[in-house]
Amino acid sequence: MLINHAIFLKKSVIKWMYLKNCLQPSKCIMINAILLFLMACEVIRPSGSDRLIARAENDYLYLSDVERQFESFDSKEDSLIKVNNFIYNWARQKLLYEKSLINLPQDKISELMDLVNNYESSLFRNAYKEFVLKSSMDTLMNQSLNKAYYESNKKNFMLKQPIYRIRHISLPLDNVDRREITNRFKRFDTEDVVFLDSLSFQFSNYFLADSLWLNQVEIVKQLNFLNLKERSRFLKSPNYFEVEDSLALYLCQLVDRLDRGNVAPFTYVENTIRDIVFNKRKIEFLRSFDNDILQDAIKIKKFEKY
């Protein structure tokens, strides 16, 4: 309530300064009295232990206002310098603002008031739209819509480079479970996945999510133990292969490969499609939302066109 009252009071003062020269003297005296009363009420606010530390015209700075600006200080001297600087900067800004209201031409004040009001209105409108949009996310995010968009626009999702599905494990050459790990890695049923995951602490590196499609950059990162020639040889078509060096044994399975020119799988482009569909739905939702507000206002006679 205090914040709303302060905003109302400030706007009232600005509008009063703007209209001041347009009113009769008797009306000026009456409105002056009302504004003085309102400003007095603003000063005598229930602030508890809050202490008034500065005044600039009709603006007041309290201890709590200063405390909100600073979390901590390096020393007592540092606190004095920073607090004093803050107080004087606050005063300069307030006094300059008051001077501008008094000395700027009335047409300029009117122009600035329009800009301020338009900006304030824009902030509130956009904040409200974002609020409504977030509360409607479940309606906008729909998997069936994403799949429908994919099916209707497959030609837009042609691969520009090969993609791969792989799994791999790197383990020390002297690993005692080497034979069983190799057999289970090749078979890779549900029980094998659980078994391999339970032994993952023995692996120097591993990647078992072979349902994911990886592009060439991601493949190079995953299979950094292969040189370019080996990658070209082993990644031509689905197959199992092993590579060994002085450090480790590398078990690799190329599960699938899709070449350039093929339609990308839905799972590979799902995030992109979700963003596209969401943005389209967002635009449609906001357009409908704006129109619904207008129609509702017409029904209850909050808006009338003359």
For the chain, the three-class secondary structure string (H helix, E strand, C coil) is: CHHHHHHHHHHHHHHHHHHHHHCCHHHHHHHHHHHHHHHHHHHCCCCCCCCEEEEECCEEEEHHHHHCCCCCCCCHHHHHHHHHHHHHHHHHHHHHHHHHHHHCCHHHHHHHHHHHHHHHHHHHHHHHHHHHHHHCHHHHCCHHHHHHHHHHCHHHHECCCCEEEEEEEEECCCCCCHHHHHHHHHHCCHHHHHHHHHCHHHCCEEECCCCCCECHHHHHHHCCCCCHHHHHHHCCCCEEEEEECCCCEEEEEEEEEECCCCECCHHHHHHHHHHHHHHHHHHHHHHHHHHHHHHHHHHCCCCCCC
Better-scored residue on pLDDT, 5 or 93:
93
Number of domains in the chain: 4
Whether 169 and 28 share a structural domain: no
Comparing 282 with 150, the larger pLDDT belongs to 150
pTM comes to 0.62
Tell whether 229 and 178 lie within a shared domain. yes
pLDDT of residue 73: 65
Q: Same domain, yes or no, for 146 and 166?
A: no
Same domain as 252, residue 198: yes
Residue 22 shares a structural domain with residue 165? no
Tell me whether residue 82 is in a domain.
Answer: yes
pLDDT of residue 76: 73
Tell which residue, 52, 77, 48, has the closest CA to residue 66: 52
Q: Are residues 203 and 272 in the same domain?
A: no
pLDDT tops 70 at residue 152: yes
Q: Residue 205 sits in which domain range?
A: 159-258
Residue 215 covered by a domain: yes
Check whether residue 206 and residue 248 sit in a common domain.
yes
User: What per-residue confidence (pLDDT) applies to 75?
Assistant: 76
Asked whether residue 108 is domain-assigned, the answer is: no
- Please name the residues in contact with 36: beta carbons below 8 A apart, sequence gap of 6 or more: none
CATH classification at residue 242: 3.10.50
State the CB neighbour count (10 A cutoff) for residue 269.
Answer: 20
pLDDT of amino acid 3:
44
Is there a domain that residue 130 lies in?
A: no
Tokens for 75, please give them: 């020393």
> What pLDDT is attached to residue 267?
96
Q: What is the pLDDT of residues 106-135, one digit of tens each?
A: 999 999 999 999 999 999 999 999 998 888
Q: Is the model's pLDDT at 140 over the cut of 80?
A: no
Mean pLDDT over 68-87 rounds to: 80
pLDDT of residue 28: 46
Asked whether residue 35 is assigned to any structural domain, the reply reads: yes
Q: Are residues 148 and 192 in the same domain?
A: no
Q: Check whether residue 62 and residue 186 sit in a common domain.
A: no
Over residues 219-243, the pLDDT tens digits come to: 999 999 998 888 888 999 999 999 9
How high is the pLDDT of residue 133?
Answer: 87
User: Do residues 68 and 87 share a domain?
Assistant: yes
- Residue-level pLDDT at 151: 96
The reply to whether 202 and 75 lie within a common domain is no
For residue 14, pLDDT beyond 60? no
Identify whether residues 164 and 254 lie together within a single domain.
yes
